[in-house]
């Protein structure tokens, strides 16, 4: 990274900044697909009381136990910068009784989340997510819809090099027995102390260890998908059938685990292979117990979170979805002060007409101003000098083919409007 002069400020560690249109293009494309499926916008607090996450996300998760930005506010209340979105959405649904109307409640959100982690490629302390939640209906078709919305977002960006991995984490009726069986299996393995500790906290977590020596030992591990209740198994089969109907490609990955405790039944992750270690560009699943856990009615929900930062990285890797739109459509090139004064008014009129326009400020030479026009991405340059002022004209130059025509100064904005919109 570049050196900063002593005394210079820099952004806090692990916090990315976005300059230019790429970030919003990715974020808004993902959001648009949720809008199409009828998800309403919800704007949530960026911090909540700490207990919400401790209870909702789960004390045993790494996110809660060692990655939260928690602090006491001036009133002595412990608050936490939101590490994920689902707990906040569920809290809001309960608090405002949104689940008393028609179900499911379908909401989508976008914004920054915070986790105190060691930064890495695709891993930030302030991460941007787009997410949806559909609460109140336990229907496998809804799981499939959520997955289809995420998939449509990635495809709308032109992404192709990702896959959807899916599995079921079962429900409360058989998970405890499975968990006990897995624990007995893991106890027989040759594992280091840190991994044993993880197994004690949550044995499922060990299943997706990436180290080859651990993976080898896990090939015969009991899997949740083989221990599903009849209901969970039927749900899982139905989700996959709906995905096939929707044309959403997916692969079963029975070793996949989510790091957040609230997931049940359907869980999934979108994986991109071009990103190095942090390959998950989105993930989520169904949560049967979260509403009740947070004091609401015992309703099931399903949702996803997509990492906008990682999706942006994936777009760069695939060179997809990031056609940089021109900053403006028309660029004014004045020669001299009188021309500049007149162009300021014309550019203003163009903007009022809904045309994106800019002009060369300062005292640049003609050549420099033309260069600026070129860099702006504008299709047209409006060149105005003394000669034109005397003739009552302005030069409209098509920067794509170099052709130039004189148009009357009076009503120039309307003429430019016609040229921009194709005659």
Partner RNA sequence: GUGGGUGUAGCUCAGUUGGCAGAGCACUGGGUUGUGAUCCCAGGUGUCGCGGGUUCAAGUCCCGUCACUCACCCCA
| Distance in angstroms (rounded) separating the CA atoms of residues 131 and 304 | 5
Rounded to a whole number of angstroms, the minimum distance from the CB of residue 111 to RNA is: 12
**Using CB under 7 A, which residues numbered 20 to 49 contact RNA?**
none
SS3 405: strand
Element holding 252 (H helix, E strand): strand 251-252
**8 Å CB contact between 39 and 107:** yes
Rounded to a whole number of angstroms, the minimum distance from the CB of residue 198 to RNA is: 5
**Using CB under 7 A, which residues numbered 118 to 157 contact RNA?**
118-124, 127, 129
79 vs 127 by CB, closer to RNA:
127
- Residues touching RNA, count (CB under 7 A): 77
Q: What are 197's two structure tokens?
A: 């500790």
**8 Å CB contact between 331 and 382:** yes
Pairing of strands 301-307, 280-287: antiparallel
Residue ranges of E strands in 93-148: 105-114, 126-135
**Using CB under 7 A, which residues numbered 164 to 203 contact RNA?**
198
| Distance in angstroms (rounded) separating the CA atoms of residues 187 and 203 | 10
Q: Which of 146, 248, 328, 399 binds RNA (CB under 7 A)?
A: 399
86 upstream amide cis, omega within 30 of 0: no
Binding flags for RNA, 359-398, as an x/- string (CB under 7 A): -----xxxxx-xxxxxx-----x-x-xxxx------x-x-
Binding flags for RNA, 329-348, as an x/- string (CB under 7 A): ----x-x-------------
SS3 209: coil
Rounded to a whole number of angstroms, the minimum distance from the CB of residue 230 to RNA is: 28
**Using CB under 7 A, which residues numbered 227 to 266 contact RNA?**
257-260
Among residues 21, 48, 62, the alpha carbon closest in space to that of 328 is found at 21
Q: Is 1 in the site for RNA (CB under 7 A)?
A: yes
Q: Which of 404, 408, 410, 418 binds RNA (CB under 7 A)?
A: 404
238 vs 364 by CB, closer to RNA:
364
Binding flags for RNA, 57-76, as an x/- string (CB under 7 A): ----xxx---x---------
């Amino acid at each position: 990274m570049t050196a900063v002069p002593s005394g210079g400020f820099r952004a806090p560690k692990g916090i990315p900044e976005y300059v230019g249109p790429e970030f919003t293009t990715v974020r808004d494309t993902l959001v648009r697909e949720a809008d199409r499926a009828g998800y309403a916008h919800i704007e949530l607090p960026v911090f909540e009381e700490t207990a919400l996450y401790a209870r909702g996300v789960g004390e045993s998760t790494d996110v809660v136990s060692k990655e939260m930005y928690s602090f006491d506010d001036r009133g002595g209340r412990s608050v936490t910068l939101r590490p994920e979105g689902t707990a906040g959405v569920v809290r809001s649904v309960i608090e405002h009784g949104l689940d008393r109307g028609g179900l499911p409640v379908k909401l989508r959100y976008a914004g920054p989340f915070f986790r105190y982690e060691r930064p890495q490629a695709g891993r930030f302390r302030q991460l941007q997510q787009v997410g949806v939640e559909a609460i109140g209906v336990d229907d496998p078709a809804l799981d499939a819809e959520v997955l289809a919305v995420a998939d449509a977002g990635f495809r709308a960006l032109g992404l192709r090099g990702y896959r959807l991995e899916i599995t079921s984490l079962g429900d409360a009726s058989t998970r405890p027995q499975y968990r006990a069986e897995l624990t007995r299996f893991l106890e027989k393995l040759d594992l280091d102390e840190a991994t044993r500790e993880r197994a004690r906290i949550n044995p499922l977590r060990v299943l997706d260890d990436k180290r080859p020596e651990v993976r080898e030992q896990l090939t015969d591990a009991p899997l949740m998908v083989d221990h599903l209740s009849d209901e969970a198994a039927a749900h899982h089969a139905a989700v996959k059938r709906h995905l096939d109907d929707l044309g959403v490609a997916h692969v079963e990955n029975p070793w996949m685990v989510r790091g957040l405790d609230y997931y049940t039944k359907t869980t999934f992750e979108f994986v991109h292979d071009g990103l190095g270690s942090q390959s998950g560009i989105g993930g989520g699943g169904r949560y049967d117990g979260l509403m009740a856990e947070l004091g609401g009615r015992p309703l099931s929900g399903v949702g996803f979170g997509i990492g906008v930062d990682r999706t942006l990285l994936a777009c760069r890797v695939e060179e997809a979805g990031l056609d940089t739109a021109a900053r403006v459509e028309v660029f004014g090139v004045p020669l001299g002060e009188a021309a500049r004064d007149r162009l300021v008014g014309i550019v203003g009129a163009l903007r009022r007409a809904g045309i994106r326009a800019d002009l060369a400020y300062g005292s640049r030479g003609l050549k420099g101003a033309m260069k600026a026009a070129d860099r702006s991405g504008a299709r047209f340059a409006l060149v105005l000098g003394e000669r034109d002022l005397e003739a009552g004209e302005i030069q409209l130059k098509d920067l794509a083919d170099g052709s130039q025509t004189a148009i009357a100064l009076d009503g120039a904005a309307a003429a430019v409007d016609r040229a921009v919109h194709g005659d």
